[in-house]
Chains A and B, each alone.
Chain A
């Protein structure tokens, strides 16, 4: 079961979601944008999905099926920073596995895990389209390429 946290939408969230809906031809077209608004404010989407669904004129289960479809909409708590490590073919043939071992060893978590201090969540991503600098990863919205274990250590320091 998905963990239910949080509670009610804030006024600000409601306002932003309402603006998305107003700019859409049909309310439900704003579904993934609405979920992302909540995620931007809280890091992940919790129990407030019920209220979001009501705003979109959707059944909560229906919106849940949208939310769980996308790997970048989080229905569980994530760390302050999300690391997306690219496991695409270019990264695969340029040393992805050794980097993954390094990251999991250093953070003490596996793919999908969050560090105990809630600093990092580590997730795989199908392709960052950064093959020219494979192996690559993205931390929050920053792209980092030509990775080595040493470089990864230095990059992690930039994200307190």
Chain B
């Protein structure tokens, strides 16, 4: 595939789409899919045929439109979104296309607060193109950056752009991506690997699922560029088995890219070759830790090992390996397209660019949002989030999954950047943002996360294996009204121990949800212990323990 050939495919596709007077985009990502948006799509197609408008109305499958809680979603001509569309409304919806008065589902204008204030870089094409047609991705400039990089740019120049962008790992730890790439690039010759960590397992997070379901080619293109930059010819996407739709779309996308010669030997008639394999998880959270993930890909039990050596030196099959998460890699194409300096101009001082968040829990607009880093939590929750439903009172927002913490009302004006969140006792994490109101008990939430860590602990090191069980036991006593002040002391001691003595991130951060709730909601713990009372009315006190 040469650049000219790619351009021709893109132009032909643009021409095909331009013929239609109306474009009707039906969201077919997991959220809407589960609400049977496929029936809405076939309903719209049948209705277009019935009304004799097949030539002027294009009904197409697209990826995530964001406002997942109000699906099935249908985007009309980039002008308004119909929410909660039923298949029976297909006829009325089609008849109202372009009319001032929208019909079919509940229509929302695109300047609705949910969409305003978002800045889409990773999700730019999400909801705009058909994830199952490579031609549509090419029509919006897809694979151009990849060919430009491998034909015109030296690997160092590619890394330089990524370094200048200030992009940091979106999987949670926030390690500078450019630095990671240059470390792998400098590691000795021979075979190297690029692994995409798509084992998104944080409870409350589904950003990566959405990227894979909506724009799989953007991820694949980012991986090829990463391979070229670090000198790797093999790529692996490790995706969790719980995401069957994402797996199906990736399989299809890889097949399409191979068929067009965008993956495989001598890409773009250059000397660069890159192949891509899919590997599947099978239900194990800790396998998302990078050394555990490598073990799993090698057909071993997916437990972590101590580092160093880091995967950048000794990774898959003992070879230098670059591991990046889905969202990190999906940022690569826009960075190369617009330049590293452009990206660095967005966001906050040490946290450049945008971040996709899964906004869930007790908030009016549940869904996926992409916002510039440095925005405050309040701006997110009250802006795109639309506030708390039912006139109830905001209590806390949990970020960072089981490694993160709960942030209270008093800290809502905190800017969302890597450092500020750590200072507040939480972490950025992969992007789950769980909003809780006064009906949530903080001790119960801490117990939930401890139970999660307890069941996901691999058992290799004692502080995590035994510590999480004991901490869970103490929290269980508190939520059933049989704890004493001594139990609270023990809990804090164990938190300290697990944090400092565990082998990997799972155990080291397992105490975080407890510590952050203790820091901000100690009163609630004391009410459970001293007064045998659950202020939120969640825990059944006196139920044993």
Seen from chain A, the residues whose Cβ lies within 8 Å of a Cβ on chain B are 23, 25-33, 35-36, 56, 58, 65-66, 69-73, 84, 88-90, 92-94, 125-134, 136, 138, 141-145
Contacts and interface: CB of A to CB of B under 8 A. Distances in A.
Contacts of A28: 298-300
Contacts of A35: 282
A32 B282 contact: yes
8 closest A-B pairs by CB: A132-B68, A70-B282, A31-B299, A28-B299, A72-B283, A88-B203, A129-B206, A71-B283
A71 to B, nearest CB: 4
A87 to B, nearest CB: 8
A138 B65 CA distance: 22
**Does more than half of chain B's interface fall in helix, strand or loop, or is it mixed?**
mixed
Contacts of B279: 29, 32-33
Nearest to B282: A70
B243 A129 contact: yes
B188 to A, nearest CB: 19
B452 A126 contact: yes
7 contacts: A28-B300, A70-B284, A126-B455, A130-B31, A132-B31, A133-B35, A133-B68
B34, B297, B398 — which one has the most chain A CB atoms within 10 A of its CB? B34
A30 B296 CA distance: 10
A126 B285 contact: yes
Interface in B194-232: 200-206, 209
A132 B358 contact: yes
Contacts of A125: 242, 283
Interface string B417-461: 000000000000000101010011000010011001001101000
A93 to B, nearest CB: 5
Nearest to B448: A92
A26, A36, A92, A141 — which one has the most chain B CB atoms within 10 A of its CB? A92
Nearest to B200: A129
Given A66-B301, A131-B205, 4 more contacts: A69-B301, A70-B282, A70-B284, A89-B204
B435 to A, nearest CB: 9
Interface in B341-384: 358, 360-362, 366-368
Interface in B266-287: 277, 279-285
B204 A90 contact: yes
A126 to B, nearest CB: 5
Contact of B299 (A29, A94, A142): A29
B205 A130 contact: no
A83 B354 CA distance: 37
Contacts of B411: none
A155 to B, nearest CB: 11
A131 B358 contact: yes
A130 B33 contact: no
B204 A143 contact: no
Contacts of B68: 132-133
A133 B367 CA distance: 9
A122 to B, nearest CB: 15
Interface residues of B, number: 57
Interface in B160-200: 200
B302 interface: yes
Nearest to A58: B299
Contacts, number: 143
A130 B34 contact: yes
Contacts of A142: 34
A33 B302 contact: no
B119 to A, nearest CB: 21
A120 to B, nearest CB: 18
Nearest to A66: B301
Contact of B280 (A26, A36, A93, A134): A36
B445 to A, nearest CB: 7
A72 B282 contact: yes
B118 interface: no
B317 interface: yes
Contacts of A130: 30-31, 34, 206
B244 interface: yes
Contacts of A23: 277
B298, B303, B362, B398 — which one has the most chain A CB atoms within 10 A of its CB? B298
Contacts of B300: 28, 31, 66
Contacts of B456: 126
Contacts of A72: 241-242, 282-283
Nearest to B360: A131
B484 interface: no
B298 A88 contact: no
A32 B280 contact: yes
A72 B368 CA distance: 27
A143 B360 contact: no
B69 interface: yes
